[in-house]
Structure 1
Amino acid sequence: MPDRDLSPILGEITDPSSLHEQAAAALVIAGALVAVADRRVASVERDEVIRFIRDRALAPHIDEQRLEAMFDELADRLDRPDFANVVIDTLRPVSDLAIASHLVDLSERVAAADDDVHPHEVQAIKLLRLLTLVLPRAKPVTARRVSDQQPVSGDTT
């Protein structure tokens, strides 16, 4: 595997603890997925993603240039054979946040941005709806006392 595939890409989340970056990436991937669905990304589609995020103050800490770079890079990654993994891996960290409705709203706005809703864009929106319903939610981790743990069968402790 070439080294370029292992280094962080422009727009990639390099700090997994950055929930704000992850939420912004999830919004951007939703828009990018619809934008690439018809095999041509119009600048008006990218502009709609940025406008949607800005108008709703969903990522006020991230500047427009950063959002544009994220969109361009994620749109490029969605053009690769492993695009489904890219979408799932980008959405999974924020699956327990209340942004699911924003993802679907954003995807619908992007589909309509170029005044031509392609059937593949409709399919991408349906996929996003499905993913927002079925992605595993983050599970809270609770500490258990050692005395609370059940012995495994055959365990003599």
Structure 2
Amino acid sequence: MSDANQPNPIEITEPSSLNEQAAAALVIAGALVAVADRQVSPLERDEVIRFVRDRKLAPHITDDRLFAIFDELAERLEEPDFANVVIDTLRPVSDLPLATHLMDLSERVAAADEDVHPHEVQAIKLLRLLTLVLPRAKPVVSNARAEQRAVSEE
């Protein structure tokens, strides 16, 4: 359980933190597969971080931060509302070209412990489906820009 004084690792408090949202989306793909068989292997966790590092997908985020995000998400994915956790983590970055990375990462995590469990296969299928049908994020525009756009459309 996280300490009350510690911020939630996946809580995004600034709109400019799209990079952290993208990192959380990548990590949740791996965490979902890792928890699918109810045995999160250190190999699976390490594979998530290695994948993100090897592809330079989150160079601005430390390994410790990625591990913290993974641990928090893995814990939350064991709750009954795990699907909402996945959707809420993926939705803010649904306009980014992450689908291929999400799928590659999920498959590598499933194979990391050399035992692909049927539930891990189901988790990969769920991710594939979500990347196809998840509603696209709407860009946040300032009130001035929104008003300017409304005036120009009239």
TM band (smaller chain): 0.7 to 0.9
Contact 2:12 2:21 in 1 (8 A): no
Q: Closer, same or farther in 2 for the Cα pair 1:60/1:81, shift >3 Å?
A: same
In the alignment, which residue of structure 1 is the partner of 2:78?
79
Letter paired with 2:150: R
Matched, 1:13 2:19: no
Partner Cα separation in structure 2 for residue 114 and residue 120 of structure 1: 14
Structure 2: give runs of 5+ residues left out of the alignment.
Answer: none
Q: Deviation of residue 13 (structure 1)?
A: 2.5
* Identity %, equivalent residues: 74
Structure 1: give runs of 5+ residues left out of the alignment.
Answer: 149-157
**Structure whose residues are more often helix by fraction:** 2
**RMSD (Å), alpha carbons:** 1.7
Contact 2:27 2:66 in 1 (8 A): yes
Q: Which runs of structure 1 show a deviation greater than 4 angstroms over 4 or more consecutive aligned residues? A: none
Please say which structure displays the higher CA radius of gyration. 1
TM-score, length basis structure 2: 0.87
Q: Deviation of residue 22 (structure 1)?
A: 0.1
Aligned residues: 142
Partner Cα separation in structure 2 for residue 61 and residue 147 of structure 1: 39
Counterparts of residues 6-85 of structure 1 (less than 5 Å): 8-9=7-8, 11-17=9-15, 18-85=17-84
TM-score, length basis structure 1: 0.85
Q: Deviation of residue 139 (structure 1)?
A: 3.8
